[in-house]
């Protein structure tokens, strides 16, 4: 994890198997240790020394919340494609119809990875997917406290800042 980060596809499954094996066979040696947290700390320290950001496309430490997953379903009634979408870190996946409106939603467990989310989506809406896409999302620009708001394109006034409290 130090140089590669924590990915859905490679590091995380192996880390979970190793921790499970140690827990079964030698629990006294892992009691109180959080290998994932230690690996994340080592990763962040490593990349602070080597340019600040890892180059892995699926690093959960650097890109958590920036990966969107979409499952396409053909509309059986000729109504067009339905799309189930989930963004890493979100509590729900949303199913939308071809008209773009929400049809249904399904809860995704906290800390879920792509496989867990895909299982929840297929359990709820069936296994007849036409596609499954990973879509990297650009981070939203977060203005600094002393940065003046910018006018929206077309001369519209800037939107007022978000006033709701956020947990994170």
**Which range, of 32-36, 80-84, 124-128, 160-164, averages the lowest pLDDT?**
160-164
**pLDDT surpassing 50 at residue 123:** yes
Instruction: Read off the pLDDT of each residue in 113-128 and give the average, rounded to a whole number.
Output: 87
Residue-wise pLDDT for 41-75, tens only, equals 888 888 888 877 677 766 777 665 567 889 999 87
Handedness of CA 146, 152, 157, 160 (dihedral sign): negative
The pLDDT value given to residue 153: 47
- CB atoms near residue 151 (< 10 Å): 10
Separation between Cα atoms, residue 38 and residue 58, nearest integer Å: 19
- pLDDT one-digit tens code per residue, 2-45: 887 777 666 777 878 888 898 899 988 888 887 777 887 888 88
Q: In terms of pTM, does the model score above 0.85?
A: no
Cross-strand partners of 59: 7
CA-CA distance, 109 to 93, in Å (whole number)? 10
Give mean pLDDT, residues 86-99.
86
């Amino acid at each position: 994890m130090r140089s590669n980060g924590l990915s859905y596809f490679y590091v995380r499954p192996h880390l979970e198997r190793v921790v499970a094996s140690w827990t079964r066979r030698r629990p006294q040696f892992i009691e109180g240790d959080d290998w994932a947290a230690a690996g994340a700390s080592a990763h962040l320290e490593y990349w602070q020394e080597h340019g600040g950001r890892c180059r892995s496309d699926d690093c959960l430490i650097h890109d958590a919340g920036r990966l969107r997953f979409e499952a396409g379903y053909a509309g059986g009634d000729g109504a067009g494609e339905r799309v189930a979408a989930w963004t890493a870190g979100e509590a729900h996946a949303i199913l939308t119809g071809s008209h773009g409106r929400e049809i249904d939603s399904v809860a995704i467990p906290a800390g879920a990875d792509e496989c867990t989310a895909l299982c929840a989506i297929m359990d709820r809406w069936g296994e007849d997917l036409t596609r499954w896409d990973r879509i990297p999302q650009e981070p939203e620009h977060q203005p600094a406290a002393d940065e003046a708001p910018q006018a929206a394109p077309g001369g519209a006034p800037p939107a007022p800042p978000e006033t709701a409290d956020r947990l994170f």
